[in-house]
Amino acid sequence: MFSVLVLHGPNLNLLGQREPGIYGSVTLADINQMLEAEGRSLQTQVSTFQSNHEGALVDAIHQALNLHQGLLINAGAYTHTSVAIRDAIAAVALPTVEVHLSNIYRREEFRHHSYIAPIAIGQISGFGAQSYRLGLQALIEYLKTQTPKS
């Protein structure tokens, strides 16, 4: 059984009420419940964490080492600004999938750059809450290819 840490960055605690035209009406609790159910179907333990604070996200990434086999992250605005989160992911060297609810490449120019993408195994954006499900599925498929068969 795999274990995956799902990290939600700043302002994602306001999903369901924050700019519903961009982010939809699904709440963060809804997304977490969907991921936990999807994890069960994939025989994967899913742990979730949200913070509006960069350092708390960095600490959670560090703590993931030796606890989880992969990371699924929506770093929110930190995607475009945080070298610290990028460096933390690189330091723990856990396979990471970056997800976004909206298609960041159809939005403002400053959102087109991700510090995380170059060190992630993949990126999924633009599918609303389903971006998380697709990201989890992709991460588990990747982990299966990396795990020796006994």
Count of domains observed in the chain:
1
Specify the pLDDT at position 109: 81
Percentage of the chain exceeding pLDDT 90: 81
Catalytic residue among 8, 68, 78, 100: 100
User: Is the backbone of residue 14 left (phi > 0), alpha (psi -120 to 50) or beta?
Assistant: alpha
Please say if 78 is a catalytic residue.
Answer: no
Please say if 23 is a catalytic residue.
Answer: yes
pLDDT digits (tens, 9 = 90+) for 27-39: 999 999 999 999 9
SS3 category, 128: coil
Q: How would you classify the pairing of strands 44-50 and 96-100?
A: unpaired
SS3 category, 17: coil
Catalytic residue among 8, 23, 78, 132: 23
Spans of the chain, pLDDT less than 50: none
Binding residues: 74, 80, 87, 101-102, 111
Output the pTM of the full model: 0.91
Domain of residue 123, CATH code: 3.40.50.9100
Binding residues for substrate: 74, 80, 87, 101-102, 111
* Helix 130-146, helix 28-41: angle, nearest 10: 30
Domain of 115 in residue numbering reads as: 2-146
